[in-house]
Amino acid sequence: MPDYFRPSVTVDVAVFAPEAGTLKLLLIQRGHDPFAGAWALPGGFIEPDETLEASARRELQEETGLQVGSLTPVATFGDPGRDPRGRTLTVLFLALLANVPVVSGQDDASDAAWFALDALPPLAFDHDRVIAAAIADLRAQAANHHPHGPLSQAEQALLS
């Protein structure tokens, strides 16, 4: 078999929830290098026998204690240099919750917290770009919401 280049594969999870008329995003504070102390989306490396979605669910629960229902794959990011440990591709998953649940930093996350989209802290890796893609996807979903039902609180927050 030829020797093909083998980048690492990770998953990231953008979890959004409405609170007091605004949309919040769940972030974790990294406990280890690279970017120790910086804020990032929950996520990490896939395990050899996991599906991408199973990996996203595991990482989210390990780092925040949160379990979610629906997870939607949104985009893949893989530009060279996005991770100082080497070439890494990440698959972004999105979850939209009905309210903001209690979370806590666990495993390799020293903290977990909800942030308003207009008050995000400095982010690790290329997560500013990854989060922008998640927000764009959510806005597109809200704008295309079928006209016969009322917009959810989260959709109203997105479009305001």
Q: What is the mean pLDDT of the chain?
A: 91
pLDDT of residue 146: 45
pLDDT of residue 148: 43
Q: Please state the pTM of the whole predicted model.
A: 0.91
Q: Over 50: is that where the pLDDT of 14 sits?
A: yes
Sort 125 into a burial class: Cβ within 10 Å, 0-12 / 13-18 / 19+: buried
pLDDT of residue 109: 95
